[in-house]
A = this chain, B = another copy of it.
Amino acid sequence: MIPSTSRQCRLAARPVGLPKATDWAFAAEATPTPGPGQVLVKVLYISLDPAMRGWMNDARSYIPPVALGSVMRAGTIGRVVASNSDAFAIGDYVAGGQGVQEYAVAEATELRRVDPKLAPLPSYLGGLGMTGLSAYFGFFEVGLPKPGDVVLVSGAAGAVGSVVGQLAKAHGCSVVGIAGGADKCAYLREIGFDAAIDYKAESLPAALKTHCPKGVDVFFDNVGGSTLEAALARIRLHARVVICGAISGYNATEPVPGPSNWLSLLVNRARLEGFIVFDYQAKYGEALTALTKLYAEKKLVLREHVVEGTIADFSDTLLMLFRGENSGKLVLKIAAE
């Protein structure tokens, strides 16, 4: 039964600081009908990502901002409920970018079939989806790790960070994670990190001295701010600092100063480099194959933090990311599988 109307979450205002309820508008519209080559997707799971905060700003960036009045952009897992394409049948599960809404028409070419027998569906938004791809390309293509390297990861209990740490271990590196809270740190040790630093309980500079006595070869940063500064103080010669994100500053209302010790990059002939996962589309297939293999071999443990609700819960759920309340990939479940 396809309902005649479907609800959307649209961006109503450009947030200043943390997004608030009035930055969103919820309304129902007639459920669309797929045209030739298209399918109708019922959205089951919505991905929540720190990068979403940037997409809400009216600023030149790596993709256009979400326009005011548009459905909020989001990665999704859904089920095909009507099909005008030979590529998908009703009942197929698909990963795509259907956004924060209940039903969406999609081009068949923009969807990827996913198999709930191989992995839980939310994992295809996490380590077996864009999150895993971000970890994979940032770590290997920008971090240029060598076996034996000391790898430091911030936001290590988050979706990307927890995958990076496990990729590093599988690659023969030693790995130290930074996370907030004893539970997150225990989880990091459980999934193979050599050490975990609870930045809420310890002085980060002192803990880095203890756990990275020889310094850091690859720093995979999701946090920025004082975390980046503390790590720059510990980098080794020719270190690679990978900028995946900088969640500590995403909701700042004033410019956030950069790290005052950035000349550590000069002293250590080191590099600070950003990347965007979308640049590696040509290699998504090989990366997903590698991630799926590690997952099947149990060398890649995935954890999703699934919040059950409706699209009306999107606003509050997103804030969990900025409060550090998620451990693993944060996903909003809006319908039963």
- The answer to whether A279 touches B273, judged by C-beta atoms less than 8 angstroms apart, is no
Q: Convert A225-259 into 0s and 1s, putting 1 for each residue whose CB lies closer than 8 angstroms to a CB of B.
A: 00000000000000000011110010000011111
Copies of chain A in the complex? 2
Stretch at the interface among A74-82, A148-156, A261-269: A261-269
- The answer to whether B267 touches A61, judged by C-beta atoms less than 8 angstroms apart, is yes
Name the distance in Å between A236's Cβ and chain B's nearest Cβ: 12
Question: Which B residue's beta carbon lies closest to that of A275?
Answer: B269
Q: Convert A157-189 into 0s and 1s, putting 1 for each residue whose CB lies closer than 8 angstroms to a CB of B.
A: 000000000000000000000000000000000
- The answer to whether B276 touches A266, judged by C-beta atoms less than 8 angstroms apart, is yes
Instruction: Report the Cα distance A118→B224, complex, angstroms.
Output: 51
Restricting to A262-300, which residues have a CB under 8 Å from any CB of B?
Answer: 262-263, 265-276, 279
Instruction: Report the Cα distance A232→B279, complex, angstroms.
Output: 20
- The answer to whether B273 touches A270, judged by C-beta atoms less than 8 angstroms apart, is yes
User: Max chain B CB contacts within 10 Å: which of A265, A270, A275?
Assistant: A265
- The answer to whether A262 touches B272, judged by C-beta atoms less than 8 angstroms apart, is yes
Determine the interface band of chain A, counting residues with CB < 8 A from chain B.
Answer: 20 to 34
For residue A246, which residues in chain B have a CB less than 8 angstroms away from its CB? 263, 266
Instruction: Report the Cα distance A61→B261, complex, angstroms.
Output: 12
- The answer to whether A265 touches B257, judged by C-beta atoms less than 8 angstroms apart, is no
- The answer to whether B274 touches A269, judged by C-beta atoms less than 8 angstroms apart, is yes
Q: Is A260 an interface residue (CB 8 A)?
A: yes
Instruction: Report the Cα distance A60→B256, complex, angstroms.
Output: 27
- The answer to whether A279 touches B274, judged by C-beta atoms less than 8 angstroms apart, is no
- The answer to whether B273 touches A262, judged by C-beta atoms less than 8 angstroms apart, is no
Question: Which B residue's beta carbon lies closest to that of A258?
Answer: B258
- The answer to whether A267 touches B258, judged by C-beta atoms less than 8 angstroms apart, is no
Q: Is A62 an interface residue (CB 8 A)?
A: yes
Instruction: Report the Cα distance A299→B61, complex, angstroms.
Output: 39
Of B61, B224, B266, which is within 8 A of A274 by CB?
Answer: B266
User: Max chain B CB contacts within 10 Å: which of A244, A258, A265?
Assistant: A258
Question: Which B residue's beta carbon lies closest to that of A266?
Answer: B274
Question: Which B residue's beta carbon lies closest to that of A257?
Answer: B257
For residue A274, which residues in chain B have a CB less than 8 angstroms away from its CB? 263, 265-271
For residue A276, which residues in chain B have a CB less than 8 angstroms away from its CB? 266-267, 269
- The answer to whether B260 touches A259, judged by C-beta atoms less than 8 angstroms apart, is no
Name the distance in Å between A324's Cβ and chain B's nearest Cβ: 20
Name the distance in Å between A212's Cβ and chain B's nearest Cβ: 15
Question: Which B residue's beta carbon lies closest to that of A62?
Answer: B267
Name the distance in Å between A230's Cβ and chain B's nearest Cβ: 13
Instruction: Report the Cα distance A260→B270, complex, angstroms.
Output: 19
For residue A268, which residues in chain B have a CB less than 8 angstroms away from its CB? 62, 274
Name the distance in Å between A322's Cβ and chain B's nearest Cβ: 16
- The answer to whether B273 touches A245, judged by C-beta atoms less than 8 angstroms apart, is no
Contact sample, A vs B, 16 pairs, CB 8 Å cutoff: A61-B267, A243-B265, A244-B266, A246-B266, A255-B261, A257-B257, A257-B260, A258-B260, A258-B261, A266-B275, A268-B274, A269-B275, A269-B276, A269-B279, A272-B273, A273-B273
Closest 8 CB pairs of A and B: A258-B258, A266-B274, A257-B257, A255-B260, A271-B273, A258-B262, A265-B274, A258-B259
Q: Which residue numbers of A lie inside 8 Å of B, CB to CB?
A: 60-62, 224, 243-246, 249, 255-263, 265-276, 279
